[in-house]
Structure 1
Amino acid sequence: MGVALFTLGGTISMAGHAHGGEAGPVVTRLNGADLTAAVPGLAEVPLDIHDVDAVPSANLTFAQVLALVESASQAVRAGACGVLVTQGTDTLEETAFLVDLVWPYAEPFVLTGAMRNPTLAGPDGPANVLAAARTAAAPAARGLGALVVLNDEIHAARWVRKTHSTSTATFASPNTGPIGHVIEGDTRILTTPVRHRALDPRTEALDDIRVALHTVTLDDDAVTLTAVAEASQGLIIAGFGVGHVPAAFVDLLDAVAERMPVVLTSRIGSGSVLRHTYGAIGSETDLQRRGLINGGLLDPYKARILLRLLLAGGADRETITAAFAEHG
């Protein structure tokens, strides 16, 4: 059957838009057939095309991504050797991690996008589609979960991040580097990430679960944090450096952690929250003593996705703590 291709929106599917006889902003116009028609070498990978929601990735929801996972699951059960999804890059690192947490199959689930739209010189979409399709079809990529393939690099969903607003080399894995490359058309996997048991996506419960994310900043106060915590069932704290917050925050976080899971992460984007190096009020050691859960190497965005899925599944504090120890 080949690779099941699911197309969403984003830069990779955009084309020019005439406005009063002059070129205007690009809009979503290309479907799967358009995307694949003129890619040299793509004919070697049989594709079964499914055009889904042509929306900017900023508009995607958990429900839409999980519905896509179900459609991809049906394709795999029908015989697809892998799955390829094209979407916008703005939330690609988050959708990829969400997919990775729930994808139970050995067949690769590959996501790709583009930074330069087809109206610009040197659009990267065709090359990314080709590399991603080859990866989705490659036996070497089996058992690796969700992968992000751009710029001929293969990244594990767990570690990948968008690191630049416009560069075609924007996707990187700061803690690990790419796990592989596409070289002369061949998928070369250099290291294998640890896979975890797939979580059960309780889609019907997600609407009732709100997980807030608060990024701590210089001379921050607790007013905003108080407001978002009151409206949430879980909280992610993106702390300074290795996981520190102002001393003025600790009493509030102490109280919030008594009634909901609060996960401590770093706002830096690479490196881990520490566990027992610093001992001052507001340090990682102090906050863990007050009940905050250590997010480890997970960045704040991925930590929010994991916590929301866990809460939707009814996980208790012990299960949540264990899950972050495993994934982080």
Structure 2
Amino acid sequence: MTKPSSPPTVLVIGLGGTIAMTPTTAEGAAKPTLSAEDLLAAVPQLAATGIVVKTQSFTAKPGASLALDEIEGLAGHLRAMDSQGAFDGFVVTQGTDTLEETSFLLSLLYGGKTPVIVTGAMRAPYLAGADGPANLLAAVTVAAGPQSRGLGVLVVFNDQVFDAARVRKIHSTNTNAFASPDTGPLGTVAEGRLRLLAVPAHKPLPLPAATARPARVGLYTASLGDDGSLLAPLLEQVDGMVVAGFGVGHVPAAWVPVLQEAAQRIPVVLASRTSGGTTLTHAYGFDGSEKDLLDRGLIGAGHLDPYKARLLLTVLLRSSADRSAVIAAFAPAGTTPEGRG
């Protein structure tokens, strides 16, 4: 007789956010008050899955107030539990304001085999049509599934599964708020299980060990008529900069001397301010074009959007990475030619 296998075990870790909010004023303004255990109580359907679910409350903040150090601490906590092998999957619940960023940051810092699924809600639990319970049920289902193992950090929202490196928040209020403009979802949750359609195209390079070195990385977005006078003083105050350029990586010609000088001192990464697509390397050659800027020492972000590029550069600088390590880390995104820089 075959011995029955033990049911999968998933740990749900709460960080706060809309999914955990209740009204705290007479006007109905909400704040995060619910624990991870409270969230599970709102999903009675979990009992029918056979999945054993444990809970931890890590913090209780709106997504906008989460800090890099907190996510770094969470990543270390997840790595430690992954090494113990006590869980088949982890689910992190948080606010959607920064979910696209924290999930990517976790993907850079975690590195374990146990899947980490990040989810949240657009409608608080006390509102009609609250989406938190359904998102949590789907996230636990994906976390417990063997197909997720080794895929790193995934985002589950509205029964869709996204690569943390590609997901974007595309709407401020709709429950269908997340998408991956370039690739689409990796899979869906249907009939109580994950239906995986694709896997992430590449994984980040192993990053240097973290140090206590502080790193301040700025993000500056190109806009029509900006002469760069605000950019120059900002470049003097940061350890690295991400420039969100027009289109495939273009900036006003007036910015070129300022960026060239800065790129000799600090890493300056060139991203696109658009919601999809990539920066290029040599399609255009005018002053302020992507080729011109790369030739002057900027580093292409490729398919990484400006927010994710800033996080990758921050992690690298906090790890004391040199310029060659920065270039190598951005190269898999697709537009830093081998040997450039």
Query: TM class by shorter-chain length?
Result: over 0.9
Q: Which residue of 2 aligns with 1:10?
A: 17
Aligned CA RMSD, in angstroms, stands at: 1.3
**Distance in 2 between residues matched to 1:243 and 1:197, nearest whole Å:** 24
Give 3-state SS (helix, strand or coil) of 1:144's partner.
coil
Structure 2 residue runs of 5 or longer lacking an equivalent are 1-7, 335-341
Asked if the contact 1:102/1:198 (under 8 Å) is kept, the reply is no
Do residues 27 (structure 1) and 31 (structure 2) align? yes
Asked if the contact 1:102/1:200 (under 8 Å) is kept, the reply is no
Give 3-state SS (helix, strand or coil) of 1:41's partner.
helix
Tell me the CA shift for residue 201 of structure 1. Answer: 5.4
One of 312, 316, 319 as aligned partner of 1:310 = 316
Tell me the CA shift for residue 226 of structure 1. Answer: 1.1
Asked if the contact 1:102/1:201 (under 8 Å) is kept, the reply is no
Q: Which amino acid aligns with 2:164?
A: A
Structure 1 residue runs of 5 or longer lacking an equivalent are none
**Distance in 1 between residues matched to 2:98 and 2:320, nearest whole Å:** 26
Asked if the contact 1:180/1:190 (under 8 Å) is kept, the reply is yes
Q: Which residue of 2 aligns with 1:240?
A: 246
Do residues 107 (structure 1) and 114 (structure 2) align? yes
Q: Which amino acid aligns with 1:289?
A: D
**Distance in 1 between residues matched to 2:209 and 2:139, nearest whole Å:** 25
| Structure 1 segment 174-253 matched on structure 2, within 5 A | 174-193=181-200, 194-200=202-208, 202=210, 204-205=212-213, 208-253=214-259
Asked if the contact 2:204/2:329 (under 8 Å) is kept, the reply is no
One of 163, 176, 198 as aligned partner of 1:169 = 176
Taking structure 1 as the reference length, the TM-score comes to 0.95
Give 3-state SS (helix, strand or coil) of 2:97's partner.
coil
Do residues 97 (structure 1) and 104 (structure 2) align? yes
**Distance in 2 between residues matched to 1:316 and 1:294, nearest whole Å:** 16
Q: Which residue of 1 aligns with 2:92?
A: 85
Give 3-state SS (helix, strand or coil) of 1:237's partner.
strand
**Distance in 2 between residues matched to 1:318 and 1:76, nearest whole Å:** 31
**Distance in 1 between residues matched to 2:116 and 2:78, nearest whole Å:** 8
Q: Which residue of 2 aligns with 1:270?
A: 276
Taking structure 2 as the reference length, the TM-score comes to 0.92
| Structure 1 segment 271-290 matched on structure 2, within 5 A | 271-290=277-296
Name the CA shift for 1:197/1:244 in 2 (closer, same or farther; >3 Å): closer
Asked if the contact 2:11/2:91 (under 8 Å) is kept, the reply is yes
Tell me the CA shift for residue 203 of structure 1. Answer: 5.2
**Distance in 2 between residues matched to 1:169 and 1:12, nearest whole Å:** 15
Of all paired residues, the percent bearing the same amino acid is: 48
Tell me the CA shift for residue 18 of structure 1. Answer: 4.6
Name the CA shift for 1:236/1:18 in 2 (closer, same or farther; >3 Å): closer
Give 3-state SS (helix, strand or coil) of 2:43's partner.
coil
One of 152, 159, 176 as aligned partner of 2:159 = 152
Q: CA deviation digits over 1:234-290, x for unaligned, max 9?
A: 010000011000000000001000101100000002100011000111100111111
Tell me the CA shift for residue 319 of structure 1. Answer: 1.4
Do residues 65 (structure 1) and 65 (structure 2) align? no
Q: Bigger CA drift: 9-18 or 289-298?
A: 9-18
Q: CA deviation digits over 1:182-216, x for unaligned, max 9?
A: 011111111111223442451522xx210110001
Q: Bigger CA drift: 229-238 or 66-75?
A: 66-75
Q: Which residue of 1 aligns with 2:5?
A: none
Do residues 118 (structure 1) and 125 (structure 2) align? yes
**Distance in 1 between residues matched to 2:43 and 2:314, nearest whole Å:** 38
Q: Which amino acid aligns with 1:184?
A: E
Work out the number of aligned pairs and report it. 323
Asked if the contact 1:104/1:197 (under 8 Å) is kept, the reply is no
**Distance in 1 between residues matched to 2:173 and 2:208, nearest whole Å:** 35
